[in-house]
Chain A
Amino acid sequence: MSRPGFVLEVDDRTPPLVVHEGLGFRLERFPLGTRVVYPPESLPVVPDVDEAIREALLHPVDADPLPTLLHSGMRLTIAFDDLSLPLPPMRAPDIRGRIIEHVLGLAADAGVDDVALVAANALHRRMTPAELRHIVGERVFRSFHPQGLLTNFDAEDPDGLAHLGTTEHGEDVEISRRAAESDLVVYVNVNLVAMDGGHKSVGIGLASYRSLRHHHNAHTMVQSRSFMDHTRSAMHHSAWRMGRVIKEHVRVFQIETTLDNDVFPRPYDFFQKREWEWSVRDQASMLAAKRGLAVAPQRLRHRVFHDLRSGYGLTGISAGEVEAVHAQTLERVHRQQLVEVQGQSDVLVLGVPYLGPYNVNSSMNPVLATCMGLGYYFNSYLHQPVVRRGGAVILYHPLDEGFHQLHHPSYVDFYEEVLAESTDPAVIGQKYERQFAEDEWYRHLYRTSHAYHGVHPFYMWYWAAHAMDHVGDVIWVGADRRAATRLGFRAASTLADALEMASGTVGRSPTITYLRNPPQLLADVR
């Protein structure tokens, strides 16, 4: 039986604790009394993955078994989550590929020949053939990719979109025409965090800018408290409304999977162990990694980290009707990630690691680091934020990776031109979002190259809107000062300096909480 997550209170016997900071980590001694939130250890995994998949497909929740939905002459579309999930990427074979093989097997048995596979990458970058192959597996790739039946979704293809109507709030629902015109859409998801899945899968993953702009904006994000809790997230409310419109037009067979917390493969598994329980071997690995990273050039460090592939275990799989499936999924995600925390604190400390959803095989630029820290990690709570209103957030990241010209071209201009003028999400959204969203060059790069959509950096900034609205002070430890200033934040050399700088906001002896992730955790703040 795995141990649940818990909250450590730092005392004088506590060793220095791991804090991730980009392409590296540090061992930090926290002030006495600091609360450190550890995620639960990995849940038990399903004993036989293929058996579990078959079981889910044959006995779905609130839906007919998949074989009964398949018949000759039908049009079947299999959509799947793109490379932003899971993090880090899964060691081959990817769970999505295994599920797709089963689905294709059933489809073949039923004599379905109009089958298309589409990656639900929304406004994310087009994946390369190699990246697609990694997700769907060699066999599926070879059978579908050369014929053009395994593609990335193109949200800017005027002929590839279908407008399904509007919600009762007047929100446009526009998704992939292929999916909209299919007799059945099978969606294969990896539910890494509570935010994923549900109506977010088809409703967002296969949607266009016209649809996305209704919930991806500063106003909605400030009202999503948090977007890891779909019952209290304005973004999810919107997506759920859209999902119901989709349900009227398209039959969706949702397959959701949940993974355990086995994020770091050996020899980096010391990252997911509790520091005082490190064995001699763990300590040696830690020291080797620390020394090695200290002398390695940035390129090499980038390579070391980005080459990591995790050997996740499958904790469960559910298939069937979207909302019913998602309820089961959330229950498992919570079991794996939820930690109860008593009350808010004055200061929240977060280590921003090397990887977020949008820099797989790419670089963590300052905008993405902000999104990772103030967007995803800050929002990893239920009920109320870990830090009190007006408190301070202290983040660790050097902010020095620069921009990936191939993947993030609009980010460079967003950073150089937009952030130079204002860092207020509402202001920049109003003033610049449309211009970036409709820019021909960005559109060209999104459609033909491997670039995130022109509007994507705005979304990153909106993810952080709730945090910026909630806290009084944001300080980056060990960050490039110019980058931090451009982002509208401050930089400190050490935690002690950062606390000193925050003392104007939170006083001399603030209460501090450190969320020790990754692996993922979700703080249930009571």
Chain B
Amino acid sequence: MPSSESPSSPLSLAARLEGSHVLLTGVTGFVGEALLHLLLSEVPGCRTTVLVRARGSQGAQARVAALLDKPIFADVVEAAGGAERLLATTLGVLEGDLAAPPPLPDGLDAVVHCAGDVSFDPPVDQGFATNVVGTRDLLARIDEALAREGRAPDTLHYVHVSTAYVAGRRRGHVAEAPVEHDVDLAAELDWGLSQRADVERRSRAAEHLTKARRRAEREHGRAGLLTAARATEAARRAWVSEELVRIGSERARSLGWTDCYTFTKALGERVVEGWAGTHRASIVRPSIIESALVRPHPGWIEGFKMAEPLILAYGRGELPEFPAAVDTIVDIVPVDHVVAALVAVLAHPPPPGAPAYFHVTSGDRNPLTFGVLYAEVRGYFERHPFTTGDRGAARLPEWRFPGAPAVERLLTTSERAHRAADYVLGHAPRSDRTRELARRLDQQGRRLAFLRRYLDLYHEYAQAELRFSDRSTVGLLESLAPEDRERFAFDTAVIDWGVYLQEIHCPAVTEPVRAMDELRRARGRTARTRAREVGEQPGTAAFFDMDGTLLSSNVIETYLWMRLRELPAGARFAELARIAAKVPALVQADRRQRSDFLRTVYREYAGARLADLEQVVDEELAAHVVSRLSPDAVRRIRQHRAAGQRTVLITGAIAPLTRPLAPLFDHIEAARLAVDERGVCTGHLAGSPLVGESRAAFLHSWAAEHDVDLAASFAYADSHSDLPLLAAVGNPVAVRPDVALFRHARRQHWTIVDWTSPPSSVRSLNPAGGSGGAR
């Protein structure tokens, strides 16, 4: 490595790095990609090897090829004479995972480690594995490579990309120096890595599972125990990852860091510092990295970083306040400044045993306050508002910066109100209005969850009153040759925040969102309430639930029709009163278990003769069943039949009640009342009622028996308890669903249709005998 110093006319960076061989990690990330681009385009004499891990079926080579296919690399690839040529000459690919780094190639002059977990709230074990173990293992591989080649330790320069926020929950001036702390690295590492096993074990504890299962059964019990079990297990998994995050943050805060990310990053630096006793090492600490100022082009950004979700949420009018003070500094640097500084650092290895520290930050010399940030972002959106949908520009909230506690209060109150509304809605009778309310409430809930997550995450950073000194970085910049100071600009003092935010960053960040909005508008409002065409596929079937889907009635109502027919007028009233008194118990049973509910109702049929029931249905109730039929439902059934598909009615109602609908279906699966030898109903059912999961089980066995392709079949149902039925087919349709099913259907993008029942104005049992006959 040419490293002779010549203070009068400094060598250019390209000259310094000419002929050297650099290993890069993390090139598929935001900073790594920019760094690779800069090296390839401005330091062509430097050979680069990138360490990339295979993902899925895509090998490292293929991933790099895909990377080079991106527009920003077009010039570089062309200058090199094609991607293959580039890969054959200056760009090498080393496949491997940082979790277990592979042996490194020979002849390396430098290693730049920019891979790392960018999430602020990683599960604790993952934070340690990536930021501490990953660094340690990489350094071990470097030692191994040097030993293999028989080189001295000081012949390789290791550049470590950290973060300025390793300073933790300090206040005020932060120097470019090691972070002061006396944490026992080995003990913390041990602890951190063992957490997953520990939390997994705790999550399986009986008392924990009991609670989760009870909750799931309360919510999904109607759909069946397996559905509830699935929900329980999903809840346990979610709890494990949440708990790991919580443990990490708590430990970090107990030691003076903001979160697990900065904590493990600081420990990672410790690992580097230990290694640097005999080696050359530099530590580069950028602050919040945002879109490029100049290179590869102004506004270049990959994926969403820290501030983008907040900017977008503000633009949509969904971020009412922020828990920061007006004058708190938010330390942002453009990505091209970071990678330029990295190249400069790369070309200036420090002496062994004295690691060099560089802050790539803006806050000290060109501070951007939250007040200015807010004003500029607002200014941008005032000039270029989001015009989603057809409601015109979103209303931009006005921030008054009331301080963190006030924002927290606002959020907590909103969350409480949301929970209350959710409870009420979960118990409300179904109607179009409840469904609309549920939709709005869910939207509100998503916004609240978003706010909660981001405010919790950024709360610490918004409070951080840190001034990162970047004297060493400035010194490095000033030592460069004049033309390099242009080419590798990293003086954050030159940034005009107004121009950067309004003309570079915000347009870049909002562009994909606007494109998506445009697409949505172009697609227009396709009628969501139309089920897919029935098609002409043979070997398929359509399954229909009865109560609530085909008919506007329920089991209690049908029971009453039947009983009231048989009773004299006086007894009718008594019967009505008796049933009314039982309603609370029935509602309870229905919420708990659909089958319990049905059993409770059918007990009332004890003592009735089955033949009589059938006669009552044929003579009197057929009209009531048919008049409650939804015309849309009937049309749909007939469409299926016309298309040659089989139609099946599945219902928890008793078989006699389905008689009027028999001609519409190829098969009717209904509850059968048990009868004694005289044909009198015992009040019990001949088999278990077909509800919840048993419907799905019936579906599968029926489909197998009749050679029906369920994936191409349709199912129509209205209630949460029908979830397994709907999930069993390829074309589920929720018909005027209850809130729980409505939510599920929306999440799964199932068709939701609105089959209105007839607004029949004639419902009296005696149509001819009007009361006004003799007036």
Chain A positions within 8 Å of B, measured between CB atoms, are 83, 89, 91-92, 127-128, 130-131, 133-134, 265-266, 298-299, 302-304, 306-309, 361-363, 401-406, 409, 412-413, 416-417, 440-441, 444-445, 448-451
Known: A298-B761, A413-B635. A445 touches B626 (CB 8 A): yes
0/1 string, B69-91, CB within 8 A of A gives 1? 00000000000000000000000
Q: Which of A308, A416, A448 contacts B660 (CB 8 A)?
A: A448
B760 interfacial contact with A, CB 8 Å: yes
B768 interfacial contact with A, CB 8 Å: yes
Given contacts A133-B768, A444-B663, A448-B660, list 19 more A-B pairs with CB under 8 A.
A83-B768, A91-B773, A128-B766, A130-B767, A130-B769, A131-B767, A298-B761, A307-B771, A361-B768, A362-B762, A402-B758, A402-B759, A403-B631, A404-B758, A405-B631, A406-B760, A409-B634, A449-B626, A451-B626
A sample of 6 inter-chain contacts (CB < 8 A) reads A265-B775, A404-B762, A405-B626, A412-B631, A445-B626, A448-B618
- Is B773 touching A309 in the complex (CB atoms < 8 A)? yes
With contacts defined as CB atoms under 8 Å apart, how many contacts are there between chain A and chain B in the complex?
A: 99
0/1 string, B715-735, CB within 8 A of A gives 1? 000000000000000000000
Q: Which of A92, A363, A409, A416 contacts B761 (CB 8 A)?
A: A363
Q: Which of B627, B762, B772 contacts A309 (CB 8 A)?
A: B772
- Is B635 touching A361 in the complex (CB atoms < 8 A)? no
B623 interfacial contact with A, CB 8 Å: yes
Known: A298-B761, A363-B762, A440-B663. A406 touches B770 (CB 8 A): no
- Is B760 touching A404 in the complex (CB atoms < 8 A)? yes
Interface residues on B, range: 20 to 34
Report B624-665 residues with CB < 8 Å from chain A CB. 626-631, 634-635, 638, 660, 663-664
A363 CA to B763 CA in the complex, in Å?
A: 12
Q: Which of A130, A131, A307, A441 contacts B638 (CB 8 A)?
A: A441
A362 CA to B660 CA in the complex, in Å?
A: 20
A335 CA to B767 CA in the complex, in Å?
A: 34
A448 CA to B618 CA in the complex, in Å?
A: 8
User: Which residues from A are CB-within-8-Å of B622?
Assistant: 448-449
B774 interfacial contact with A, CB 8 Å: yes
- Is B772 touching A308 in the complex (CB atoms < 8 A)? yes
- Is A449 touching B663 in the complex (CB atoms < 8 A)? no
User: Which residues from A are CB-within-8-Å of B769?
Assistant: 130, 134
User: From A445, which residue of chain B is reached at the shortest CB distance?
Assistant: B626
User: Which residues from B are CB-within-8-Å of A134?
Assistant: 768-769
The listed residue with most A CB atoms (<10 A of its CB), out of B635, B761, B771, is B761
User: Which residues from B are CB-within-8-Å of A89?
Assistant: 768
A422 CA to B555 CA in the complex, in Å?
A: 41
User: From B662, which residue of chain A is reached at the shortest CB distance?
Assistant: A444
User: Which residues from A are CB-within-8-Å of B761?
Assistant: 298-299, 302-303, 363, 401
A266 CA to B772 CA in the complex, in Å?
A: 11
Nearest-Cβ distance from residue A411 to partner chain B, whole angstroms: 9
Report B237-267 residues with CB < 8 Å from chain A CB. none
Nearest-Cβ distance from residue B431 to partner chain A, whole angstroms: 18
User: Which residues from B are CB-within-8-Å of A451?
Assistant: 626
User: Which residues from B are CB-within-8-Å of A303?
Assistant: 761, 770
Q: Which of B630, B631, B660, B775 contacts A449 (CB 8 A)?
A: B660
Nearest-Cβ distance from residue A124 to partner chain B, whole angstroms: 14
- Is A307 touching B663 in the complex (CB atoms < 8 A)? no
0/1 string, B675-713, CB within 8 A of A gives 1? 000000000000000000000000000000000000000
- Is B660 touching A405 in the complex (CB atoms < 8 A)? no
User: Which residues from B are CB-within-8-Å of A265?
Assistant: 775
- Is B638 touching A309 in the complex (CB atoms < 8 A)? no
A444 CA to B769 CA in the complex, in Å?
A: 26
A451 CA to B623 CA in the complex, in Å?
A: 9
User: From A443, which residue of chain B is reached at the shortest CB distance?
Assistant: B663
A404 CA to B757 CA in the complex, in Å?
A: 11
Q: What are the 8 A-B residue pairs with the smallest beta carbon separation, nearest first?
A: A307-B772, A406-B627, A307-B770, A405-B758, A130-B768, A131-B768, A361-B767, A412-B631
